Amino acid sequence: MSASGSKPSIGFIGIGFMGHGMAKNIVEAGYALTVMAHRNRAPVEDLIGRGAKEAKSPREIAETADIVFLCVTGSPQVRAVTEGENGLAAAGRKLIIVDCSTSDPSVTVPLAESLAARNITLLDAPLGRTPKDAWEGTLDVMIGGAAEDIARVRPVIDTFAQRVIHTGQTGTGHTMKLLNNFLSMGYGALYAEALMLGAKAGLSAETFHSVIAGGRMDCGFYQTFMQYVVGRDRNAHKFTLNNALKDTAYLNAFAVAQGAANPLAAAVRNSYAQAVGAGRGDDFVPMLADFIAEANGVKRAE
């Protein structure tokens, strides 16, 4: 690790909607930052312009970084960048990996044990809120791991988060994130179906919104959802239906592993599965309202 009193070197893999803003805040806080491109060059060029460096592989990042943040799609991608060929572990260095992805806790726990044998500490630190919050440094973070390890990464996390909750041992962060996304994606499915039923009865989305907004059923997720439905702001909630389906599928697998019946979660998953199966996976979550409406003969959820 870096010498006492100096800032650790940071690596960041996954500079998409959330990761770009997080990495921006890290480099602007004065940390030496190395990033890796995937498909979109624009975030890489922006971060280089702010002082970051670019690496060609996870191994190259691990050769100089003390702490590496991951913000990738899910567990398969996490395993690929950690244990795959030219992965982080291939560098053979002591390292802390902070997985900010929404991953499967049944994968996270054994992966942490495997990496520990190679002198690598894995913390799970999934995120709450939106890409706008990532950019503004106001994310929520649920983090699992030993308190002393969390203390080492906390100053870096504080550059992009306004609220950090220690959930327990490694794996509990990802478990809490699945529960959080069960609630949020469940809201999305409920809103879409309610808007469709209202439209069938002649109630516009604007009327629906005028009743719900400001009442007891209002919340931040509802506001960004309706910012698209009523305001047609495509960027109000940039979380894809593909990711929603992935997260709800993880939750259902978790329920099976726990031997629990979860009929509500299964229904929520199927709402997103239908939209993804119809080719709408790259749409954002509020656009589920359009799909549900169209599937029921309504042009728009209004």
Q: What are the two backbone dihedrals, phi and then psi, of residue 137, each rounded to the nearest 5 degrees?
A: 75, 30
- Buried b / exposed e along 183-212 (16+ C-beta atoms within 10 A): ebbbbbbebbbbbbbbbeeeeebeebbeeb
Q: What is the DSSP letter of 237?
A: S
Indicate which residue of 7, 177, 238, 299 is catalytic: 177
56 annotated active-site: no
Overall size of the chain counted in residues: 302
Instruction: Give the burial class of 113: count Cβ atoms within 10 A of its Cβ; 0-12 exposed, 13-18 middle, 19 or more buried.
Output: exposed
Take residue 300 and report the two structure tokens written for it: 């728009």
Q: How many CB atoms lie within 10 A of CB 249?
A: 16
- Round to whole Å and give the CA distance between 116 and 202: 59
Is the Cβ–Cβ distance between 106 and 133 less than 8 Å? no
Cα–Cα distances (Å) from 128 to 18, 138, 141, 143, 157, in that order, read 10, 9, 6, 11, 13
Is the Cβ–Cβ distance between 280 and 241 less than 8 Å? yes
Instruction: Enumerate residues 6+ apart whose C-beta is below 8 A from 222.
Output: 187, 191, 212, 213
Q: Which residues are catalytic?
A: 177
